[in-house]
């Protein structure tokens, strides 16, 4: 079922159009508005604030069903309206209410339909992917709401006091919170040599837990996955929640950038699954995060660590954001470049803005067996301006360092890892450090120069925000030194989403216009409805033969309304009418739609393995005019998420694992620190016994219903 939440109109042509017939082609709702319009100036003339828009002169959005879109466009514009979108024979336009009758009278118009007030559900996106039918049981023998399942969120924290995270009785559904950055409390039992601070059910329920979410990202993601709200509810509103605030530190002292967060994130996932095991509950872990330091081929220990947590187990799955690093800019191609050098060649890149620590990194992975040497060149401006300075070529096994611009820009090239033990690939790390006197780094550019035999992939860091440092489209003869190869727009799916055992999620748009509580005329973003987000990262991985297609699936990612942390401070234009929910966009926002879908699967049957849920989600994905017919592909993966179809496929296909056969992760370790005693309360968290027998009852009903249900095109 497709829903468009805009104020809209239709236009249709009859064999003969007259003024009288125009009345039959006009939505009665618009005629009602026309009647109200005559009264508005008198009623409001004394109370309109200065500079306010007179409601009688406001444009309303309509669908117009027509036979001649050019003629109708001309008519709309002649009446002072604007045409926003043409979808086949339907025009989406904004028109003055007073002109509706005249437009409907056109022979080219079949019908003009006003936008209707629609009951809010999360809010548009959950309905877009057919999640509402699953929650209500409308298309299934019984509703599925995530009961008996844990949704784990590894992010910036969670505002556990928010009503969206309470159950129907007002009790918190947040079982535990672990902040890896705090050092003034007790760490979790599950972690040997524990660290950070943990809150469990007692301190969460009585409000004494001091942990929160000042950023708001984690709370927003949690709301989409498992929030309970009549307007902006999440995918699995009865699921329990375990949240981890992760440590995102970085160590580059060795010359290679080593994200400490990768280890901490695997620990976070371990912790969540351990909590779930202790309660006998299935769990899905949401990671709306990622990094571009690593081989992007599924072989890193970061990815392997996470894979170990789900392999051989049922009722466990991990979902990760593909990333927001795709570049649609004609000049700046993004964070990736890679090629097989023909002679001496280079990829040009620019530091577009200074990061907080003013440290930048190029992570290079050659194909196994490659023999490549790398150098770095520094330019005042872009090619073809000649480089001002150049490093020596650093061959495999070597390490060099120095400075440009009189010592203001430091550099080091480390090529000592000639063959990684994990994948046999040569690894080169280039670090660039800007001095404080470099006030406008975008005035300069750098060349990553390479020669030798073989091929390589290179990624730029930091990748947040994505425009901090980017390769350019410089290509061909740009000077006498070497030829250029443009950066490309591929291989920007972040780790750990490149793991073959993790579901990678891209994002598309389900909202591009909205009203804010402070401005009824606000707001609009330049994203086309139904289209991929311009910045949603592109595949493939660095080794698609091992990882499979990446991303796996695409879900709604812009603009998504979800839970707002009380300590976050969003732009006022992104606030929703509740004032406790806000809009955000990104693959981070898309990921919890998939995590929530898996929670619904687990609530029906915890015996699904991570391979089961991936297969059912990708096989049930649908294609449309935006995705194209050739799926999977590098932008859309297998297509758009359809929660209902995925649940149906899971019920029909069955589970291949045994949740009862999961082995415990580890025996709890001794606490290393003292502190307030906390308890983890299961209560209603055990798996509902009826869920274990639900599958047999549902299969024949779904099989019968699916034969009659019209299907969207499957990938």
Same domain, 512 and 590: yes
* 34 vs 625, more confident: 625
Name the residue with higher pLDDT: 704 or 303.
303
Q: Are residues 556 and 426 in the same domain?
A: no
166-225 per-position pLDDT tens digit:
999 999 999 999 999 998 889 999 988 899 999 999 999 999 999 999 989 999 999 999
CATH number for the domain spanning 236: value is: 3.40.50.200
Regarding whether 223 and 351 lie in a shared domain, the answer is no
Q: Is residue 276 domain-shared with residue 353, that is, in the same domain? A: no
Sign of CA dihedral 74, 75, 80, 84: negative
Paired residues of 457 in beta bridges: 338, 365
Average pLDDT of the residues in 1-5: 33
Residue 357 pLDDT? 84
Is 246 part of any domain? yes
Extended beta strands in 566-700, E state: 581-584
Q: Which one-letter DSSP state was computed for residue 97?
A: G
Residue 222 located in a structural domain: yes
The last residue of one of the domains, among 428, 460, 484, is 484
CATH at residue 97: 3.30.70
Burial class (CB in 10 A: 0-12, 13-18, 19+), 454: middle
Domain span holding position 91: 19-114
pLDDT tens-place string over residues 503-543: 999 999 999 998 888 777 788 899 999 999 999 999 999 99
Q: Where are the alpha helices (DSSP H) in 92-177?
A: 100-104, 125-128, 131-136
In a domain, 695, yes or no: no
Distance CA 698, CA 649 (A): 12
- Assign residue 350 the CATH number of its domain: 2.60.120.1290
Calculate the dihedral angle through the C-alpha atoms of 393, 430, 483, 379, rounding to the nearest 10 degrees.
-100
> Does position 462 have pLDDT exceeding 90, yes or no?
no
- What's the pLDDT band for 136 if we cut at 50, 70, 90? confident
Adjacent-strand bridge partners of 389 = 378
Pairing of the two strands 476-477 and 197-199? unpaired
What's the CA gap between 257 and 469, in Å, rounded? Answer: 16
Write out pLDDT tens, residues 610-663.
999 999 999 999 999 999 999 999 999 999 999 999 999 999 999 999 998 776
494 vs 356, more confident: 494
Domain assignment present for 706: no
Other C-beta atoms lying within 10 Å of the C-beta of residue 146: 30
700 domain residue, yes or no: no
Residue 630 in tokens: 């050739």
pLDDT at residue 246 in the model: 85
The span from the CA of 392 to the CA of 400, in Å, is 8
pLDDT digits (tens, 9 = 90+) for 480-502: 789 999 999 999 999 999 999 99
Q: How sure is the predictor about 712, in pLDDT bands with cuts at 50, 70 and 90?
A: low
Q: How confident is the model at residue 90, as a pLDDT?
A: 54
What is the pLDDT at residue 262? 79
- Given a cut of 70, whether residue 704 has pLDDT beyond it is no
Please give the pLDDT value at position 180.
Answer: 92
Q: What are the tens digits of pLDDT across the range 156-173?
A: 999 999 999 999 999 999
Domain-ending residue, one of 436, 454, 484: 484
Taking CA atoms, 316 is separated from 21, 54, 173, 606, in Å, by 61, 56, 19, 8
DSSP state of 141: S
Cβ–Cβ under 8 Å, residues 467 and 374: no
**Residue 463 CA: distances (Å) to CA of 20, 125, 351, 466:** 61, 27, 11, 5
Task: Express each pLDDT in 305-341 by its tens digit.
Answer: 899 899 989 999 999 999 999 999 999 999 999 999 9
In this structure, the number of other CB atoms found within 10 A of the CB of residue 119 comes to 7
297 and 169 fall within a common domain: yes
Interaxial angle between packed helices 689-708 and 587-604, expressed in degrees from 0 to 180 and rounded to the nearest 10: 110
Residues 6+ apart with CB under 8 A from 193: 669, 672
The DSSP 8-state label assigned to residue 46 in this structure reads T
Q: Per the domain annotation, does 650 fall within a domain?
A: yes
Distance of CA 570 to the CA centre of its chain: 18
Q: Are residues 428 and 461 in the same domain?
A: yes
Last residue of a domain, one of 449, 464, 484: 484
User: How is residue 2 annotated by DSSP?
Assistant: -
**Which residues fall within 8 angstroms of residue 16, CB to CB, at 6 or more apart?**
107
One domain, residues 110 and 196: no
Residues 398 and 524 in one domain: no
Q: Are residues 404 and 301 in the same domain?
A: no
pLDDT digits (tens, 9 = 90+) for 48-69: 333 433 444 567 766 677 789 8
Query: Residue 121 domain-assigned?
Result: no
The mean per-residue pLDDT over the stretch 583-601 comes to: 96
> What is the predicted pLDDT for the residue at 676?
33
In whole angstroms, give the CA distance from residue 199 to residue 215.
Answer: 19
pLDDT for the residue numbered 7: 30
Residues 468 and 570 in one domain: no
Kindly state whether residues 465 and 391 are assigned to the same domain. yes
pLDDT at residue 555, as a whole number:
97
Q: How many structural domains does the chain have?
A: 3
pLDDT at 23 over 50: no
For 66-110, the pLDDT digits (tens) are: 789 888 888 888 888 887 545 356 566 678 888 888 888 888 988
The H or E element containing residue 381 is none
Distance between alpha carbon 331 and the CA centroid of its chain, in Å? Answer: 25
Q: Does any domain span residue 547?
A: yes
Residue 44 half-sphere exposure toward CB, CA atoms < 13 A: 15
480 dihedral zone (left: phi>0; alpha: psi -120 to 50; beta): alpha
Same domain, 37 and 60: yes
């Amino acid at each position: 079922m497709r829903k468009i939440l805009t104020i809209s109109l239709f236009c249709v042509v009859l064999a003969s159009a007259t003024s009288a017939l125009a009345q039959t082609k006009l939505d009665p709702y618009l005629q009602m508005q026309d009647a109200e319009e005559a009264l508005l100036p008198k009623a409001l003339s004394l109370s309109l604030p200065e500079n306010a828009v007179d409601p009688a002169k406001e444009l309303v959005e309509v669908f117009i069903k027509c036979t001649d879109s050019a003629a109708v466009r001309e008519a709309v514009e002649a009446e002072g309206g604007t045409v926003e979108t043409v979808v086949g024979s339907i025009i989406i336009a904004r028109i003055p209410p007073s002109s509706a009758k005249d437009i409907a009278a056109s022979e080219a118009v079949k019908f003009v339909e006003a936008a209707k007030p629609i009951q809010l559900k999360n809010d548009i996106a959950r309905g877009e992917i057919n999640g509402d039918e699953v929650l209500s049981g409308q298309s299934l023998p019984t509703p599925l709401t995530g009961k008996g399942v844990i949704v784990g969120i590894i992010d910036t924290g969670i505002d556990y006091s928010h009503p969206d995270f309470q159950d129907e009785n007002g009790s918190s559904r947040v079982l535990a919170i672990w902040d890896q950055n705090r050092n003034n409390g007790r760490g979790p039992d599950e972690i040997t040599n524990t660290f950070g601070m943990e809150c469990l059910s007692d301190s969460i329920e009585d409000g004494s837990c001091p942990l929160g979410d000042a950023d708001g990202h984690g709370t927003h993601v949690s709301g989409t996955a498992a929030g309970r709200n009549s307007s902006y509810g999440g995918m699995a509103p009865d699921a329990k929640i375990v949240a981890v605030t992760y440590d995102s530190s970085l160590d580059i002292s060795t010359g290679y950038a080593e994200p400490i967060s990768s280890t901490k994130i695997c620990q976070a996932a371990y912790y969540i699954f351990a909590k779930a095991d202790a309660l006998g509950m299935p769990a899905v872990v949401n990671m709306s995060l990622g990094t571009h330091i690593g081989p992007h081929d599924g072989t890193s220990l970061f990815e392997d660590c996470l894979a170990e947590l789900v392999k051989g187990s049922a009722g466990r799955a991990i979902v990760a954001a593909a990333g927001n690093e795709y570049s649609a800019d004609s000049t700046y191609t993004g964070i990736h470049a890679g090629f097989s050098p023909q002679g001496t060649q280079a990829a040009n890149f620019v530091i577009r803005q200074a990061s907080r620590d003013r440290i930048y990194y190029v992570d290079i992975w050659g194909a196994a067996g490659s023999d490549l040497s790398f150098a770095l060149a520094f330019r005042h401006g872009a090619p073809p301006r000649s480089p001002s300075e150049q490093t020596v070529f650093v061959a495999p096994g070597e390490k060099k360092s120095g400075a440009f611009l009189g010592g203001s820009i430091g550099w080091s090239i480390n090529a000592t890892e000639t063959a990684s033990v994990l994948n046999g690939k040569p690894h080169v790390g280039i670090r660039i450090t800007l001095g404080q006197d470099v006030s406008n780094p975008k005035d300069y550019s750098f060349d990553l120069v390479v020669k030798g035999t073989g091929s390589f992939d290179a990624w730029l860091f930091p990748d947040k925000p994505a425009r901090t440092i980017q390769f350019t489209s410089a290509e061909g003869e740009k000077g006498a030194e070497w030829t250029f190869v443009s950066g490309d727009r591929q291989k920007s799916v972040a780790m750990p989403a490149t793991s073959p055992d993790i579901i990678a999620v891209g994002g598309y748009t389900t909202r591009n216009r909205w009203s804010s509580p402070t401005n009824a005329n606000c707001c609009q973003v330049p994203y086309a409805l139904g289209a991929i987000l311009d910045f949603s990262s592109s595949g493939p991985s660095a080794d698609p033969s091992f990882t499979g297609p990446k991303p796996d699936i695409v879900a709604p990612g812009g603009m998504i309304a979800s839970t707002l942390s009380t300590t976050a401070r969003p732009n006022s234009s992104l606030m929703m009418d509740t004032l406790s929910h806000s809009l955000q966009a990104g693959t981070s926002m898309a990921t919890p739609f998939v995590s929530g879908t898996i929670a619904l699967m687990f609530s029906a049957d915890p015996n699904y393995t991570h391979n089961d849920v991936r297969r059912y989600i990708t096989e049930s994905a649908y294609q449309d005019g935006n995705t194209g017919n050739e799926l999977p592909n590098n932008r859309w993966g297998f297509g758009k998420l359809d929660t209902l179809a995925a649940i149906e496929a899971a019920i029909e296909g069955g589970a291949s694992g045994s949740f009862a056969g999961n082995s415990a992760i580890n025996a709890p370790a001794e606490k290393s620190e003292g502190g307030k005693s906390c308890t983890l309360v299961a209560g209603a968290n055990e798996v509902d016994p009826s869920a274990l027998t639900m599958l047999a009852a549902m299969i024949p009903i779904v099989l019968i219903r699916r034969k009659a249900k019209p299907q969207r095109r499957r990938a």
